[in-house]
């Protein structure tokens, strides 16, 4: 921690800062008096929360700023675990050499709809079946999902195809129920900062896919992952799904930067979701390729037997044949970067 003081600071003010630092458990402080500023660098480790110490120091009239040097997350950081984490879901490994494709409809609408999608996901060579049973919705009047009935249909599709399934859990009260059916628990963008929900899934042993909040920084996203890891569950897969920007042409702006940034900062695998990242089916294939080229460990893609009749997210859903084509087009790209599909 570095404390920046005003140039005209008095000796007793500097002493007050040093006393606060040692009182907070730091071993000592390094003082550097400059012409424009005086800088106090804390040495050692505090016994109190760094964020709180910084806030308290900032309240002093002669303190201009406090800069935290170490990151506000630890368990999910690359420093803590230099090797990349590989998460096993059945026979699928996420974060390894394989680029893992999760695909399926936005929402489970019916048995026929999901089973037909599941067969296509399997035939196209994708690895995990997606489908929402509990749907977050901006409008209270739009489709909110089939609930447990949807989970049962997902389980049936898993039995038939052997594909593991991923589905969203939105409420702490549903974690136990969804955990009984799902192979991966999805935390959606609107719940990235639902800290009770993060802690609740952190108490389970299920892999969790944590989507980036649509208005969240990468650091906030990693802190959300830290909430899950802090409760003992390190099986966390991050998913970049686009953020809100000033550009209205696309539903969100897919932040391709986030993929290599996450790999630099964290040991966790990261997927790209070009469906929500763009909101337009025509952009799903090019942005899928961009994500894979940037190092994404996998993709989350929405498909539908008849996108024009989808109850949710039809405009961003691929038809079965377009999905098959994308899977074939990904082959040479994946090979070129030394991975496999």
Residue of minimal CB distance from ligand PEP? 188
Of residues 299, 287, 213, the one with CA closest to residue 254: 287
Q: How far is the CB of 189 from ligand PEP (least distance, A)?
A: 4
What residue 109 binds from Mn ion, ligand PEP, none (CB within 5 to 8 A, per partner kind)? Answer: none
Q: Which residues contact 180 (CB under 8 A, 6 or more apart)?
A: 151
Closest CA to 194 of 179, 216, 165, 163: 216
| Residue 104 sits in the site that holds ligand PEP (CB under 6 A) | no
Count of CB atoms within 10 A of residue 244's CB? Answer: 13
User: Looking at 106, 170, 258, 327, which residue binds ligand PEP (CB under 6 A)?
Assistant: 106
Minimum CB–partner distance for residue 154 and ligand PEP (Å): 14
Question: Residue 136, interface with ligand PEP (CB under 6 A)?
Answer: yes
Rounded CA-CA distance 131/44 in Å is: 49
82-111 residues near Mn ion, rule: CB under 5 A? 106
The yes or no reply on residue 313 touching Mn ion (CB under 5 A) is yes
Q: What dihedral angle (degrees, nearest 10) is formed by the CA atoms of 13, 19, 23, 26?
A: 110
- 211 part of the interface to ligand PEP, by CB under 6 A: yes
Query: Residues 241, 251, 267, 289: which binds ligand PEP (CB under 6 A)?
Result: 241
Distance CA(266)–CA(132), nearest Å, equals 28
- Bridge partners for 166 per DSSP: 130, 184
Q: How far is the CB of 316 from Mn ion (least distance, A)?
A: 7
Structure tokens at 307: 């996108």
Out of 95, 104, 132, 269, point to the residue binding ligand PEP (CB under 6 A): 132
Q: In angstroms, give the least distance from the CB of 278 to ligand PEP.
A: 12
Binding site for ligand PEP (CB under 6 A): 106, 132, 136, 188-189, 211, 241, 276
């Amino acid at each position: 921690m570095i404390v920046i003081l005003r140039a005209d600071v008095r000796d007793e003010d500097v002493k007050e800062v040093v006393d606060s630092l040692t009182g907070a458990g730091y071993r000592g402080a390094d003082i550097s008096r400059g012409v424009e500023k005086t800088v106090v660098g804390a040495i050692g480790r505090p016994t109190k929360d760094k964020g709180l110490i910084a806030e308290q120091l900032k309240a002093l009239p002669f303190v201009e700023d406090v800069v935290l040097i170490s990151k506000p997350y630890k368990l999910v950081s690359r420093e803590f675990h230099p090797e990349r984490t590989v998460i096993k879901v059945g026979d699928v490994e996420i974060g390894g050499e394989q680029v893992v494709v999760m695909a399926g409809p936005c929402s489970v609408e019916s048995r026929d709809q999901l089973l037909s999608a599941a067969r296509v996901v399997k035939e196209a060579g994708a690895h995990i079946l997606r489908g929402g049973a509990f749907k977050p919705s901006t409008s209270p009047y739009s489709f909110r999902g089939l609930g447990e009935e949807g989970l049962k249909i997902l389980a049936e599709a898993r039995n038939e195809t052997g594909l593991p399934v991923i589905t969203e859990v939105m409420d702490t009260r549903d974690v136990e129920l969804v955990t009984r059916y799902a192979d991966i628990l999805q935390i959606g963008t609107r719940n990235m900062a639902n800290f009770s929900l993060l802690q609740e899934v952190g108490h389970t042993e299920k892999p969790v896919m944590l989507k980036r909040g649509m208005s969240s920084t990468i650091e906030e996203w990693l802190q959300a992952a830290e909430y899950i890891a802090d409760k003992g569950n390190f099986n966390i897969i991050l998913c970049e799904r686009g953020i809100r920007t000033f550009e209205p042409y696309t539903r969100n702006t897919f932040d391709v930067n986030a993929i290599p940034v996450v790999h630099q900062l964290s040991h966790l695998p990261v997927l790209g979701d070009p469906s929500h990242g763009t909101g337009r089916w025509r952009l799903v294939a090019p942005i899928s390729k961009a994500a894979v080229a940037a190092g994404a460990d996998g993709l989350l893609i929405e498909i539908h037997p008849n996108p024009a009749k989808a109850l949710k997210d039809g405009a961003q859903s691929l038809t079965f044949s377009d999905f098959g084509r994308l899977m074939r087009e990904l082959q040479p790209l994946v090979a070129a970067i030394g991975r496999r599909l």
